[in-house]
Amino acid sequence: MDWLHNLVLPGGKFLGIEWHFWKIIGWVGNVVFFSRFMVQWYATEKLKQVVVPSAFWWLSLTGSLLLLSYALFYQKDSVFIFAYAFTWIPYIRNLIIHKRHKRAHLNCTECGTLCPPKSNYCFECGSPLPAEESPTAKAN
Ligand SMILES: [Zn+2]
């Protein structure tokens, strides 16, 4: 079992890393940021079409903010800081658009199916759908 000990705790350090507060923040950021690919891949395989679920943008936002704070307060490296300084802008914008699109869906009064925005008829039962009323849908 010496080989296992040397693999996991080389030099008595877990994974050979000198652990402290900012290392934990940085590694949690890495894990969260990386996990978004698994979430997106799973969603795509499940629907058999390329989809980007809102969880992808939440994980992107959380992971990049953790990595940005690591870069800003611990590493203090301009290259690393720039890499994460502006990524939150498209993440937040995509979350807003995701939310508006979801809110613009129409509820079928006949069967209760949630139909895509701007649909005239329910794709499940064929009943006519009510006209859109949501003010945010009109703002788009
Ligand atoms: Zn229906």
CA of 124 to the centre of ligand 1 (A): 5
Give the amino acid at 81: I
CA of 56 to the centre of ligand 1 (A): 30
Beta strand segments in the chain, E = 106-107, 114-115
CA of 84 to the centre of ligand 1 (A): 45
Residue 136 confidence (pLDDT): 52
Mean pLDDT for the chain? Answer: 91
pLDDT beyond 90 at 139: no
Model confidence pLDDT, tens digit, residues 17-50:
889 999 999 999 999 999 999 999 999 999 999 9
Residue 140 confidence (pLDDT): 47
CA of 129 to the centre of ligand 1 (A): 8
| Beta carbons of 96 and 55 less than 8 angstroms apart | no
Residue 13 pLDDT grade (very low, low, confident, very high; cuts 50, 70, 90): confident
CA of 103 to the centre of ligand 1 (A): 18
Residues near 133 by beta carbon (within 8 Å), at least 6 away in sequence? none
CA of 48 to the centre of ligand 1 (A): 24
CA of 107 to the centre of ligand 1 (A): 8
- Arithmetic mean of pLDDT, 98-107: 93
CA of 131 to the centre of ligand 1 (A): 14
- Arithmetic mean of pLDDT, 3-14: 85
> Would you kindly state where each structural domain of the chain is located, as residue ranges?
2-103, 105-140
CA-CA distance, 116 to 136, in Å (whole number)? 15
Please give the residue that has the higher pLDDT: either 122 or 2. Answer: 122
